[in-house]
Structure 1
């Protein structure tokens, strides 16, 4: 049984989107090529070590930079060794993406790359964790194609490369890549401390 600090139980984020919120464009030019050129063996090694082996994610591969120790506590964060190599490259993108929230004291958790291979899907699901009430789940497509769909509350969306989108992960959501290229998103959670 996980324990949420008492002061969090009354502070679910009032700014969490109901479905999708476009946060605007972000400059991914300094990391895009490097991410697209990551060797497959690195994806395999990192994916095998990931903490989030959930059936709805299907064939999605992850490179996890930060994650939570306890799924119900977004404040208990673990840095993975690969984060030290990537922090200086990714942190400015995260900071740029979250400017619309205007939080004076924001924090990040669950930072990762997610690769959805061609002709694969993420089943519709709702994130069951208590911590999801306090965080904004944000996707930034690094690579996509016209045949990638994202679904929230049974409504279809297409996310553009280099744009940040908040997704309500407490609503029914999922995705599909019907295209012939990988869909790679930078995904992270943001919250007000």
Structure 2
């Protein structure tokens, strides 16, 4: 969604329990669903644990499904997502995507804009789980750092990218929230 700024710090969040659960996941959980990497070329060098997903087909009348990551993380992720939504956005909308996303050391998510209409309508929220000093986000040509313990909304309608020049993974929990005035039938 075009939020008029490139990146908005939503403030502190208590992500510790979710972080612990994500960091304890076996490698098999990261490899269980490769759809995002297959569908979006810019994410081919990432790994994901997907809880909720839609490909957006038929927008705005879409199907949102629970994926393999639901059983691993939903008990901790859903309350945190609800807390962020209730604090910062109009209630009554829908979360249409939610995942833990890993960018491996030395990898890059190349500059891109999210073009599908669902990305025009939804807020894209990032919760850093693990990062390092050599991770750089660029949105609309400006560099940013996201810190663990805060949540952020990214303007996915601006050109954005991520590079991980560090020796450790970058892991964010990411979800898309579509507010009630943009939900089908509203």
TM bin, normalised by shorter chain, reads: 0.7 to 0.9
Corresponding residue number in structure 2 for 1:7: none
Q: Equivalents in 1 of 2:159, 2:57: separation in Å?
A: 18
Q: What SS class does the counterpart of residue 32 from structure 2 fall into?
A: helix
Give the direction of change, closer, same or farther, for the CA distance of 1:144–1:72 in structure 2 (3 Å limit): farther
Corresponding residue number in structure 1 for 2:139: 152
Which of the numbers 144, 150, 175 marks the counterpart of 1:188? 175
Corresponding residue number in structure 2 for 1:98: 85
1:119-160 CA-to-partner distances (Å, cap 9, x unmatched) read 111000011101111100011000011111111001000000
Q: TM-score, normalised by structure 1?
A: 0.84
Q: Equivalents in 1 of 2:104, 2:36: separation in Å?
A: 19
What's the RMSD between the two structures over aligned residues? 1.9
Corresponding residue number in structure 2 for 1:126: 113
Instruction: Report if aligned partners of 1:71, 1:131 keep a CA contact under 8 Å in 2.
Output: no
Q: What SS class does the counterpart of residue 176 from structure 2 fall into?
A: strand
Q: What SS class does the counterpart of residue 163 from structure 2 fall into?
A: strand
Corresponding residue number in structure 2 for 1:10: none
> Gaps (5+ residues) in structure 1?
1-12
**91-100 or 176-185, larger mean C-alpha shift:** 91-100
Aligned-pair CA distance for 1:81:
3.8
Q: TM-score, normalised by structure 2?
A: 0.87
